[in-house]
Structures are given as structure tokens and as C-alpha cells.
Amino acid sequence: MKIDILTLFPFMCESVLSESIIGRAREAGCVDIDCHNIRDYSTDKHNHVDDAPYGGGTGMIMQAQPIYDAYMDLTDNGNKEYHLIYMTPQGKTLTQERVKELAKLDNIAILCGHYEGVDERVIEELKPEEISIGDYVLTGGELPALVLVDSVCRMLPGVLRNDEAFEKESHFDGLLEYPQYTRPPVWKGREVPEVLLSGHHENVAKWQTEQSLERTKKKRQDMYEKFVENDNKN
Ligand code: ADE
């Protein structure tokens, strides 16, 4: 998969994406990620990329021209197929389900807005999928883009050491993950559940499923109800 991030802060994105699991995945060739500076495409003599909003109001708006030209350069004037995503609190909230779908695509471009947003006309022209990471407002689309890239990349073959790791985790099958423990077996008087030390795989699996159901019911009633509804349909 190829991921291209269009941003005014490429170093901010690059620094995060060079570390840890995603950094290693890039080195191993599981995913190819490039961060492009929208400012490089400004035709303004001072390299400006933003201006005051028409109609007044506070803050600055990112101009259409540098964003459009950056995307045209990336896509070879629209000849290369890309799925364009615009990170915005006005978008649909990202879900694990959508992450799984996005992980099947070959080329994703992500537009990060900054300041008070981007000129509406470039959104109308490029028609990106609009994605939000939650009902709160950040100072820019970079952190949301990094959340999206991280969640998509970990679904790609070879990125997680154990490809099965994500099949049993929170949100993957509509349930929260069961509690996990590691050494020592007793810590501050708290013992690891006995069944996990038993080596009896069937009992362990049964316990984990029960815990997943119980946790989801307790912590995320909305997810639990959806799970029960889908379970009854199948
Ligand atoms: N840009 C600013 N806030 C955002 C959010 N919650 N999701 C996506 N992009 C954003």
C-alpha cells in the first residue's frame, strides 16, 4: 500500500511515522508512506498558503490552489488512481470497520487541514471522503491523519508480528478485548486468574470469550447491544 500525506507539517507526520511498529513496517517494505509539504506548491511569491476568510471571522483559511496542485502532482493530473481522504471534524467518525476497508486499497492520499479549515471550493472539486476521529476539535488534521495511518497500517500483512493479534482485540469482532496479564503471577497481592496458568487451551479460550462479553456489556453497552443484535441475525 502507498500512503501520501498532504500537510503543512510534514516533519510532524514523518517523526511519528518513523518510530516503533509503523517505522519498522516502512523499513520492511510493508507500506510506503510519503509526507508532502503543501507549501511547496504555493504559487504566491511569499509562499503563502492561507488567507483571511471572506465574510470575516477569526483565523486563517488554507487556500485552494496549493492543495489542488499538490494533489494533481501526486496523482499525475488525476491519471493515477488514489482514494483521497480529508481529515475534518465534520466527517464520518472513523470505525474499525472502515479501517479494515481502507486497508484493502492500493493508494490513499490524506489531506490535513490546518488553521480554521480549507477553502470549500477545493473540497467540492476533489470530493474527498471526509473522516473525523471523534467529536472534538484539534488544531489540525495531522494528528487525526496519524491515527488513521496507524490504524490502517497495522492491518496490513506483515506489520504485526502475529497476524492473528488483531483478530482477538478490542473492536475487531464487535467486542472489547478480554483482560491480559504477564509476569509476575502475583503483584501487590493481586493474582493472575488461575485458568490462565492452567495451560488448558479450551478453558482459556472459553474464559476469554466470557470476559470479552462481560467487559463489553459493562463498559460499552452500545457495542454490546449491537453485538447481540448481529449475533441473533446470524
Ligand atoms: N481536524 C480537527 N479536528 C479533527 C477531528 N476531530 N477529526 C479529524 N480531523 C480533525
**Is residue 168 scored above 80 in pLDDT?**
no
163 pLDDT above the threshold of 80: no
Neighbouring CB atoms inside 10 A of 53's CB total 15
* pLDDT at 89 > cutoff 80: yes
Average pLDDT over residues 41-50: 97
Task: In whole angstroms, give the CA distance from residue 90 to residue 71.
Answer: 21
Q: Which of 179, 60, 156, 159 is nearest to 117 (CA)?
A: 60
- Cell 500512503: give the residue: 3
User: Which of 32, 41, 115 has the alpha carbon at shortest distance from 72?
Assistant: 41
Q: Distance, CA 138 to ligand 1 centroid (Å)?
A: 5
- Least-confidence region, from 30-34, 39-43, 173-177, 179-183: 173-177
With a 6 Å cutoff on the Cβ, whether 88 touches ligand 1 is: yes
pLDDT band at 149 (very low <50, low <70, confident <90, very high): very high
The Å distance, Cα 125 to ligand 1 centre, comes to: 21
Atom of ligand 1 nearest to the CA of 139: 2
| Alpha-carbon gap, residue 167 to 158, rounded angstroms | 14
Q: Which residue has the higher pLDDT, 207 or 166?
A: 207
pLDDT tier for residue 171 given thresholds of 50, 70 and 90: confident
148 lines ligand 1 (CB under 6 A): no
- The torsion angle over the Cα atoms of residues 38, 87, 110 and 168, rounded to 10 degrees, is 150
pLDDT of residue 166 exceeding 80, the answer is: no
Contact between 17 and 33 under an 8 Å Cβ cutoff? The reply is: yes
Residues with Cβ within 8 Å of 127's Cβ and at least 6 positions away in sequence, in order, are 84
Residues 6+ away with beta carbon under 8 Å from 227: 174, 175, 216
Mean pLDDT within 14-35: 98
Q: Is 133 in the pocket of ligand 1 (CB under 6 A)?
A: yes
Verdict on whether the full-model pTM lies above 0.85: yes
Convert 54-107 into a string of H (helix), E (strand) and C (coil).
Answer: CCCCCCCEECHHHHHHHHHHHCCCCCCCCEEEEEEEEEEECCHHHHHHHCCCCE
129, 133, 148, best to mutate for ligand 1 pocket (most atoms within 8 Å of CB): 133
Pick the residue whose CA is nearest to atom 5 on ligand 1: 89
Give the mean model confidence (pLDDT) for residues 147-165. 89
- Distance of CA 158 to CAs 12, 91, 106, 144, 172, Å? 25, 30, 16, 24, 18
Q: Check whether 95 has a pLDDT greater than 90.
A: yes
DSSP label of 108? E
* pLDDT averaged over every residue in the chain: 95
